Structure 1
Amino acid sequence: MQTFWTACGHQHLTRNERGWLVPSPDYWRLWLQRPEMALVPESCKEEMRLHQALLDAPLMQVSPAQLHAFKDDDARENYELFLRFRDDVESAGSLESAYMAWQRNGNIQMPPLFIDVVVQAIVCNVLADEPDAWIWRAAELLFRRQRITIEGGRVLAGDSDTLDALKATGGLGEMGRLLLEGGAPLKAVDVKVLHKDNEDRYLAQREGLGRYAFLLDMTHEVRNELPHGLILKMVNARSGLKALSVVLARWVQHFLGVSVSIEPVQKVDDPAWRWHVGLDVTATALLNDLYQGQALDEKRQQQLISLFTLRFDNPQDMRADVQGKPVYLGLAMNDQRLLKLKPQNILLNLPLASAV
């Protein structure tokens, strides 16, 4: 696997016979070192005692009395969530099994942070040995919220948390925040669109602010106006949508064991439209309305980033009543131009011939 994204702990996971990820004791130790679990000067003796005991034996059973002895309610809740998460994964046997169990339950008790870190580790597994920077950058959409900007006809996706932090600190951390509050001018942070000239720099980034400071060009089709009113349309060879299609196809293969092909498209012109899946909350609502024949106003149309066609390589893997038909996928931003992809949607809502 790649050596970046180590904060998600993929380096402390091993593959079982199915190729799914099994945690080691060091994986749980890494969680205990996260900011949510790490000791602070205010930590009480009971918390410090339990924290050390878990570092020594990450799978030890913890009694309610041990948690009740904590003086800080927030610390107690963090430990309760961590222990529930640990026990769910250990009981399921792998991160993938636990992830699917949480999603199928329909009433997810885990905080979004826990889910996103799990997805990130699974993505590392899905993309093991992948050399393409665009595919890795597109994979970030599965676990990190994106802010969408439309500039000169190009659709650019930037990591929302990173852009907010850069805006607040000038890229200089807490020192930058203090300087800004004091009125000191700061040099604008140079956020680059991922390009062939900087792909090596992207892959060389490890953790920290710079890890997610690359924009992804989500423009699928480039329009060039030629003399005499002619317009030349060309497919963007380095479209982030094509890279995302690769990621999603591998995601499906990894979890469901079925091979699919996914392609971005600009519109759906299919009177026999039978099945669709929204890849996020906004896209789900948009596709439902389109499927029911409802017209979208201009504002809602502009929220739609792209459509995709998904086809099963083996039609026998599909339900008999839709066999051979394409599945349409949608990707959209909300009113604040934010995109939070829900990778579980494509796993739970495909028309499979049999339950996986």
Structure 2
Amino acid sequence: MPEFWVASGHHLARLDRAGRMVVTDELLLAWLARPEIVPPPEACATERAVHARLRAAPRSAVPSLELAAMKDPDARENWQFFLTLRDRLLQAGTIEEGYAAIMREGLRLPVVFLSQLVQLILRNALDGCDDPQVLRAAECLFRPQRAHVKDGMVLMADEELVALFEADMHASPLMAMFSGGIDSLDVLGGGNEWTYWSRSDAHTMIYNFGGDPEARRGMAKALEAFIRHMLGVEVSVSPQTRVDDVDLRWYVGLDPNGTAIGDALWHGRPLPASLIGVFRLDFADPSKTREDVAGHPVWLLLGLGQDGAVRIKPQNLLAGLPLAEPHLH
């Protein structure tokens, strides 16, 4: 089975009997090597000492007074975020339960840390998946995308990659012209799926969300896998091409624009953004849902604002589905 998302660090975690990822010292050490955490050359002695101690024993306590002694306020904040994340995950026992607790409690953490957790969770949930369309769609759950319409189709490229191309264009327009920029990237599909495996960590393939039914099927499967793994309920998710008879008895916005669109439809207001994706979610066992929703589908809505950004929030699926009782599998 081809490997994918090696940079997630999933190989540094270990699984418990339920198939959840237990935090290991090796995984914590990998996070301590992140550029947000490694002390820069000008860092104070206290920050360097804390980093060195945690490199030797990544579960060591760091007193608040020691954090307060760091001279750089940004460093203090970064370290506080990291220690909050580490301690919450260790307290929860697994990456999955820790992420759910962080979302449930509304802990404020940098997006980069939360995205790292979602990638780890999806890497575990999709272990053994051999479908690049599913994997590329799943990237959208932990990496923001930049969408644009070409020939009437919505194409998505990794937002970080787009930003790099834009920076290169400003720095060296001539080199950007020769490199081709975003237009030079391959659109996943049509026989090139086998190339995904060698570049899954580079995130360089365009996702043809609007023009390829296989891409939307891939998104549906990725959403199913995340829900099944995190909530322990079987659901079927299917992409919809028509929305004429959608009964918004219950809906979940996959992103902030999708939520705003659902609210506008519910209240009969003009749409605040473009609706680019609609998925129907059905529970295999209706008894798992609230009585007033049992037997009815849940609609998952994806929107697109004027800035072209697509930022899916998988935590909406944990908090927004009409389960009979809130629970984590």
Matches within 5 A, 1:163-182: 163-169=162-168, 179-180=172-173
Instruction: Name the CA distance, whole Å, in 2 between partners of 1:330 and 1:309.
Output: 9
Matched, 1:326 2:326: no
Say which of 187, 196, 216 aligns to 1:193: 187
SS state at 1:142 partner? coil
Deviation at 1:270, TM superposition (A): 3.5
Matched, 1:255 2:221: no
SS state at 1:321 partner? coil
Instruction: Name the CA distance, whole Å, in 1 between partners of 2:176 and 2:123.
Output: 41
SS state at 1:274 partner? coil
Q: Judge conservation of contact 2:165–2:176 (CA < 8 Å) in 1.
A: no
Deviation at 1:196, TM superposition (A): 4.1
Matches within 5 A, 1:87-236: 87-105=87-105, 107-169=106-168, 179-180=172-173, 186-189=178-181, 190-205=184-199, 207=201, 211-219=202-210, 236=212
RMSD: 2.1
Normalization by structure 2: what TM-score? Answer: 0.92
Q: Judge conservation of contact 1:89–1:98 (CA < 8 Å) in 2.
A: yes
Q: Judge conservation of contact 2:157–2:206 (CA < 8 Å) in 1.
A: yes
Deviation at 1:334, TM superposition (A): 1.4
Amino acid at match of 1:30: A
Change (3 A) 1:263 1:49: same
Q: Judge conservation of contact 1:2–1:128 (CA < 8 Å) in 2.
A: no
Match for residue 25 of structure 2?
25
**Cα offsets for 1:271-293 (capped at 9, x unmatched):** 75411111111111111221233
Q: Which has the larger radius of gyration?
A: 1
Deviation at 1:183, TM superposition (A): 8.7
Worse overlay, 263-272 or 24-33: 263-272
Match for residue 73 of structure 1?
73
Deviation at 1:353, TM superposition (A): 1.8
Amino acid at match of 1:187: S
Match for residue 57 of structure 2?
57
Task: Give 5+ residue unaligned stretches, structure 1.
Answer: 171-176, 221-235
Change (3 A) 1:142 1:184: closer
Instruction: Name the CA distance, whole Å, in 2 between partners of 1:72 and 1:354.
Output: 45
Deviation at 1:244, TM superposition (A): 0.6
**Share of identical aligned residues, percent?**
35
SS state at 1:305 partner? strand
Q: Judge conservation of contact 2:88–2:102 (CA < 8 Å) in 1.
A: no
Amino acid at match of 2:294: Q
Deviation at 1:163, TM superposition (A): 1.1
Match for residue 265 of structure 1?
240
**Cα offsets for 1:283-305 (capped at 9, x unmatched):** 11111221233354xxx46x111
Instruction: Name the CA distance, whole Å, in 2 between partners of 1:124 and 1:41.
Output: 34
Match for residue 324 of structure 2?
353
Worse overlay, 195-204 or 51-60: 195-204
Instruction: Name the CA distance, whole Å, in 1 between partners of 2:59 and 2:292.
Output: 47
Normalization by structure 1: what TM-score? Answer: 0.85
Amino acid at match of 1:322: V
- The size of the alignment, in residue pairs, is 325
Q: Judge conservation of contact 1:318–1:352 (CA < 8 Å) in 2.
A: yes
Higher strand share: 1
Deviation at 1:90, TM superposition (A): 0.4
Matched, 1:242 2:236: no
Q: Judge conservation of contact 2:3–2:197 (CA < 8 Å) in 1.
A: no
Deviation at 1:186, TM superposition (A): 4.0
Q: Judge conservation of contact 2:280–2:300 (CA < 8 Å) in 1.
A: yes
Q: Judge conservation of contact 2:13–2:22 (CA < 8 Å) in 1.
A: yes
SS state at 2:299 partner? strand
Instruction: Name the CA distance, whole Å, in 2 between partners of 1:272 and 1:94.
Output: 37
Instruction: Name the CA distance, whole Å, in 1 between partners of 2:219 and 2:300.
Output: 12
Change (3 A) 1:206 1:237: closer
Match for residue 223 of structure 1?
none
